[in-house]
Amino acid sequence: MRVVSICLNPAIDISSETDIIYPISKVRTHSERIEPGGGGINVARVLCGFDLTPSLIYLSGGSTGRLLDEELLSYPMDAHCFRINSATRVAFTVHQTSNHQEYRFVPEGPLVEADVLEKVIDCVAALNLSSNDVVVASGSLPRGVPDTIYASIAEVVERYQAKFILDTSGAALSETLKSKARIFLVKPSLNELQKLVGCKLDEYTARDFAESLVSSGQAEHVAVSMGSHGAFLASTDSLLRLPAHLVKVQSAVGAGDSFVGGLVYYLSKGHSVQTAFRFGVAAGAAAVMTSGSQLCLRADIDKLFQTEMEFEEF
C-alpha cells in the first residue's frame, strides 16, 4: 500500500515557553523548536516515524518556503513541491509555564495561484494509484484556493479506486461531503462537526449526524474525536466508541494529525478500519504528551495501544 499525503497550507511551526505572558513589554521565551507543519505534512511526519516512506504533495513559497523545504529534507519522503509566489505561513505556539496554558497563533496562509492548483491535481493523477493506495488530504485551505479543491482531488482518486481520507473543516469539508466523490473516511473533531451542522452538538447528536453521513453515502466511515470524551467511529455496519486515554497533557498541537497518521499507518499494515481507529486514538493521545509542535512518539503509542481499551456501548 502506498500513502500519499497532501498539504495545501503548510507552515513553519515555531514553539517556545515562557513563565508568563503580558501585554506591551517584551516576553522572553526559551526552549524554541522549529518544525515543518500543516496538516498533510504532519501526517507524513508521523508516517515517517513508523518507518514508512510516504509521498508528500505540498506548496511552498518565499524565504519561509525555502526553510520549510530544508526542514523536510531530514524526513524520508517522496516529496513533490509546487512553488507559489507568496511566502509560506509561520505559526507560533507559546506555552505559559506558570499556569500550563497554551497560546496558538495560526495565520490564514498565503495567496495561491490557480495554475498551481491545476499542477497539484495533475500530479495526483500522474501517480497511477492502485486500489490499495491511500490519499490523505489534511489541513485548512490558504487564500485563493476554492472550497471545492478537495472534492476535485477526491474525484481523481476515485478514478483509480484508491482510498481517500479527508481531515479538514469549514466550507472545504462541507463542499467535499456534498460532492459525488467517494470518501473512504472523514475525520472531524466534535467542534468541526458542530460548525458543519451549524448548531451545538453533544456526543449523541454528533453520533446521529455522523451516522447520517454514512447512511447517505457521503462517507464510508466517519471518525469523530471528542477530546477528553474520547472518540467514535461510525461505519455502515458498526458504531464504535473509545474513551480517552488518561495522559498528562503537554500540548494539543498535532493531536488530530497524529490520530490520522496512526490510523493510516495501521491501515497500511492490512488491519481493519476498526483496529486502525483504535491505533489512531492511541497516536492522538501520545501527541498531547509531547511539548510544543513535537508530534507523537512511537514508544508512547505502543504503550497506550497495548492498554486494554474496550469499545463502549454507544
Question: What is the pLDDT, as a whole number, of residue 251?
Answer: 84
The answer to which of 126-130, 189-193, 236-240, 247-251 has the lowest mean pLDDT is: 247-251
Tell me, yes or no, if 257 is annotated catalytic: yes
Q: Give the whole-number percent of the chain exceeding pLDDT 90.
A: 89
Domain-located, residue 209: yes
Q: Give the whole-number percent of the chain exceeding pLDDT 70.
A: 98
Q: What is the domain range of residue 240?
A: 3-18+31-305
CATH number at residue 255: 3.40.1190.20
Q: All 3 cell numbers of residue 108? A: 490564514
Banded model confidence at residue 23, pLDDT cuts 50, 70, 90: very high
Q: What is the per-residue burial (b if ≥16 Cβ within 10 Å, else e) of 273-296?
A: beebbbbbbbbbbbbbbbbbbbbb
- What residue type is assigned to position 51 of the chain? D
Mean pLDDT of 240-265: 92
The dihedral built from the CA positions of residue 165, 169, 172 and 178, taken in this order, carries a sign that is positive
Is 311 a residue whose pLDDT tops 80?
no
Is 313 a residue whose pLDDT tops 80?
no
- What residue type is assigned to position 106 of the chain? V
Mean pLDDT of 197-220: 95
**Residue 227, by phi and psi: left (phi above 0), alpha (psi -120 to 50) or beta?**
left
d(CA 265, CA 286): 15
Domain-located, residue 311: no
d(CA 74, CA 270): 28
Of the candidates 132, 152, 56, 102, the one whose C-alpha atom is nearest the C-alpha of residue 252 is 102
Banded model confidence at residue 292, pLDDT cuts 50, 70, 90: confident
Q: All 3 cell numbers of residue 171? A: 466550507
Mean pLDDT of 201-217: 95
Mean pLDDT of 95-108: 94
d(CA 89, CA 65): 8
Of the candidates 268, 215, 274, the one whose C-alpha atom is nearest the C-alpha of residue 242 is 274
Which pLDDT tens digit goes with each residue over 138-150?
A: 999 999 999 999 9
User: CA dist 189 to 24, 170, 302, Å?
Assistant: 35, 11, 23
- Hunting for cell 499525503 — which residue is that? 5
Question: What is the pLDDT, as a whole number, of residue 279?
Answer: 96
Domain-located, residue 225: yes
Domain count for the chain: 1
Which of 13, 133, 167, 257 is the catalytic position?
257
Mean pLDDT of 274-291: 94
Whether 57 and 124 have beta carbons less than 8 Å apart is answered as: yes
Q: What is the 3-state secondary structure (H, E, C) of 68-89?
A: HHHHHCCCCCEEEEEECCCCCE
Mean pLDDT of 157-163: 96
Q: Average pLDDT of the chain?
A: 94
Banded model confidence at residue 105, pLDDT cuts 50, 70, 90: very high
Is 308 a residue whose pLDDT tops 70?
no
The answer to which of 7-16, 256-265, 288-297 has the lowest mean pLDDT is: 288-297
Q: All 3 cell numbers of residue 302? A: 505502543
Is 235 a residue whose pLDDT tops 80?
yes
Domain-located, residue 312: no
Question: What is the pLDDT, as a whole number, of residue 158?
Answer: 96
**Which three-class secondary structure state does DSSP give residue 235?**
strand
Domain-located, residue 310: no
Domain-located, residue 233: yes
Mean pLDDT of 280-294: 91
User: Partners of 240 in the beta sheet?
Assistant: 233
Is 229 a residue whose pLDDT tops 70?
yes
Is 309 a residue whose pLDDT tops 80?
no
Full DSSP string of 142-200: -BT--TTHHHHHHHHHHHTT-EEEEE--HHHHHHHHHSSS--SEE--BHHHHHHHHTS-
Is 63 a residue whose pLDDT tops 70?
yes
Q: All 3 cell numbers of residue 261? A: 497518521
